[in-house]
Amino acid sequence: MAYSEKVMDHFANPRNVGEIPDADGIGEVGNSRCGDIMKMYLKIDGDTITDVKFKTFGCGAAIATSSMATELVKGKSIDNALQLTNKAVMEALDGLPPVKVHCSVLAEEAIKAALSDYYQRKGIDPTLIIGAPSTSDEDREDPTCGE
Amino acid sequence: MRKIYADNAATTALSPEVLEAMMPYFTTVYGNPSSLYEIGSEAKEAVENARLKISQLIGAKSANEIYFTSGGSESDNWAIKGVARALKKRGKTHIITSKFEHHAVLHTCHALKKEGFEITYVDVYENGIVRVEDIEAAITDKTAIVSIMYANNEIGTIQPIAEIGKLCRDKGVIFHTDAVQAMGNVPINVEEQNIDLLSMTAHKLHGPKGCGALYIRKGIRPAVLIDGGAQERGMRAGTENVAGIVGFAKALELAIAGQEYRREHVTAMRNRLIDSLLTIERSRLNGDRDKRLPGNLNMCFEGIEGESLLLMLDMNGISSSSGSACTSGSLDPSHVLLAIGLPHEVAHGSMRLSFSDDITEEDVDYIADRVKYIVNYLRNMSPLWETIKKNEKEGKA
């Protein structure tokens, strides 16, 4: 297994690491048993994601995909962020080894979980806007572990 | 940048002396040992000298008890499948092994299960050591073979081989041990320890890759695994890896000559690093501290994931290994760490370092400094660590 240069760059120099104390939306996905947890913080002004930070427990790909996902939504509109796919994250990183595809799925889910939290805080049912993750089954590694 | 190769349990650098011993068998004495002309018989002589030397170094009665193979995995496969299949017709359909064997043994047992064998996997407990009484309790009149590794490849714990050997001898059960990690690091004597079959490999002791051996006690005849020519007295076909075999014997000789130094110096360096790293909060040493191979260190750091640690150590010039799911190529962490009772989330944060004789105090102090920095860095960005600290504050475990 080898990571692309872009993955190694985002792993070694992750962008947007940290927390936003007064975040407008926070999403956490994954679990410690599987070895990956991603937590995303969004600051939203009107329709725009003005700031985004993340914290991740996980492997090199988990950190790199988190970092890339924050870069892909920062400064963008909510609509734009809602269209983020794990494929887009992978492509921006010049690909991932097959066993690491699930990390990109988590990154997409983390952004969506934070947006979901944002809508919930505003009293809007997020399932109508966000729905289920847009990943196709073939991209998706079996997310269960240790069973 | 300082470069430290600390993954000697994966493989080792070929020793220059070993390479020198091997060279003639690549260049001038390239004959097939089965050929009758001069460079053939010279090659044959080299193989037989190596066989005799290795037999003496492990305390075997005769050179004829050493069979050269391609390495540890083949030796493990042959020992267990060979004995099991040979004894099946006598109603021996039971195999005993442990939960934390190398996959060469575990997957061999899985394959034999499909052939109708029943497998008992004995516990290895928190210290990573099997209990002889568990093996005794598991032996039945159907037991064909007991296979327990000499020392574990991930956590380096040394098993009570002489006691298991005696038990098996008393019960009339064949005893195999995978000594791939232990060879050259701890004294091995197949006669004194009642070992019936012993798997060996050259590349873990500064010898070449692709060459190993199986010791088979006289009187035991495992079924043949590799059919073909009459090499290895008809027991293992294939033209001998002459240079590899010569290198293996030389490497084993050098490793055993350096055993005392390793036991003192490498153990001291290793312990210095363990003590330093245990000052990191929520860290733990995996496996018994004393009954372990001199060069092995295996620790867990809660709240971080092992592959990230490994990649960052690599950026700092340190080659290491991890039992995290991410490095095992599956979603589950190492079966060894789970077998000693670690929860999944802790096992994900493991690091194995395995040292060679050249390790220095400066090296281990550099490693300690880097590991502390990286663990702290990764914890600062870990939501799991945040949860652990929050629970700590609230008085939860």
**Tokens representing residue A11 in the block:** 């792993």
The per-residue pLDDT for range B63-116, each reduced to its tens digit, is 999 999 999 999 999 999 999 999 999 999 999 999 999 999 999 999 999 999
Interface A-B, measured as beta-carbon pairs within 8 A, has a size of 80
Could B331 and A11 be called an inter-chain contact, meaning their C-beta atoms sit closer than 8 Å? Answer: no
Confidence at residue B59, expressed as pLDDT on a 0 to 100 scale: 98
pLDDT score for A34: 86
Q: Does A147 touch chain B (CB under 8 A)?
A: no
Window from A125-129, B226-230, B283-287 with minimum mean pLDDT: A125-129
Asked if the model's pLDDT at residue B30 lies above 60, the reply is yes
pLDDT of residue A128: 78
Residues of A within 8 A of B324 (CB-CB) are 35, 59
Q: Mean pLDDT check: name the lowest of A12-26, B147-161, B208-222, B311-325.
A: B311-325
CA–CA gap between residue B25 and residue B3 (Å, rounded)? 32
**Mean of per-residue pLDDT scores for chain A:** 90
Residue among A57, A63, A96 with most chain B CBs within 10 A, to mutate: A57
Contact A35, A28 (CB under 8 A): no
**Contact between A57 and B325 using a beta-carbon 8 Å cutoff:** no
pLDDT band at B180 (very low <50, low <70, confident <90, very high): very high
Q: Is the ipTM of this complex over 0.95?
A: no
**pLDDT attached to residue A126:** 87
Please name the amino acid found at residue B210. G
Contact check, Cβ <8 Å, A32/B348: yes
Shortest alpha-carbon distance between residue B370 and chain A (Å): 15
Nearest residue in chain B measured CA to CA from A147: B332
B305 and A99 in contact by Cβ < 8 A? no
Tell me the C-alpha distance between B389 and B180, whole Å.
Answer: 41
Mean predicted lDDT score pLDDT of chain B: 96
Environment class of A15 (CB within 10 Å of its CB; exposed 0-12, middle 13-18, buried 19+): middle
Q: How many angstroms separate the Cα of B14 from the Cα of each of B51, B100, B168, B244, B254?
A: 20, 28, 36, 11, 12
A59 annotated active-site: no
B384 at A interface, C-beta within 8 A? yes
The answer to whether B329 contacts A1, with C-beta atoms less than 8 Å apart, is yes
pLDDT at A130: 82
**CA B17, B23, B25, B29 torsion-angle sign:** negative
Q: What is the pTM of this model?
A: 0.93
Q: How far is CA B383 from CA A89, B195, B306, B341, in A?
A: 21, 49, 15, 24
Residue B240 reports pLDDT greater than 80: yes
Share of chain B above pLDDT 90, in %: 96
Lowest mean pLDDT among B32-36, B54-58, B331-335: B331-335
> Considering CB atoms only, which of B332, B381, B382 is closest to A146?
B332
Nearest by Cα to B179 from B71, B27, B317, B327: B71
Give the closest-approach CA distance of B108 to chain A in angstroms: 22
B170 exposure class (CB count in 10 Å sphere: 0-12, 13-18, 19+): exposed
A64 to chain B: which residues are within 8 Å by CB? none
Inform me whether the C-beta atom of residue A2 falls under 8 Å from chain B C-beta atoms.
no
CA B136 to chain centre: 24
Mean pLDDT per 10-residue interval, chain A, length 147 residues: 92 98 97 93 97 97 98 97 96 95 96 96 87 48 44
Please give the DSSP secondary-structure letter assigned to residue B7. B
Residue indicated by tokens 């926070």: A26
Q: What is the pLDDT of residues B324-356, one digit of tens each?
A: 766 555 667 899 999 999 999 999 999 999 999
What pLDDT is attached to residue A140?
A: 43
Q: Is A32 on the interface with B (CB under 8 A)?
A: yes
Beta-carbon separation of B381 and A38 below 8 A: no
Residue type, B269: M
Name the phi and psi angles at B75, rounded to 5: -60, -45
Q: Which residues of A touch B303 (CB under 8 A)?
A: 57
Measured in angstroms, the CA of B333 and the nearest CA of chain A are apart by 8
Nearest CB to B383; choose among A1, A34, A57: A57
pLDDT digits over B286-307, tens only?
Answer: 999 999 999 999 999 999 999 9
Partner-chain contact A59 B344, CB within 8 Å: no
Contact B313, B366 (CB under 8 A): no
The residues in B 301-320 lying below 8 A from A, measured between CB atoms, are 303-305, 307-308, 311-312, 315
Catalytic residues of B: 326
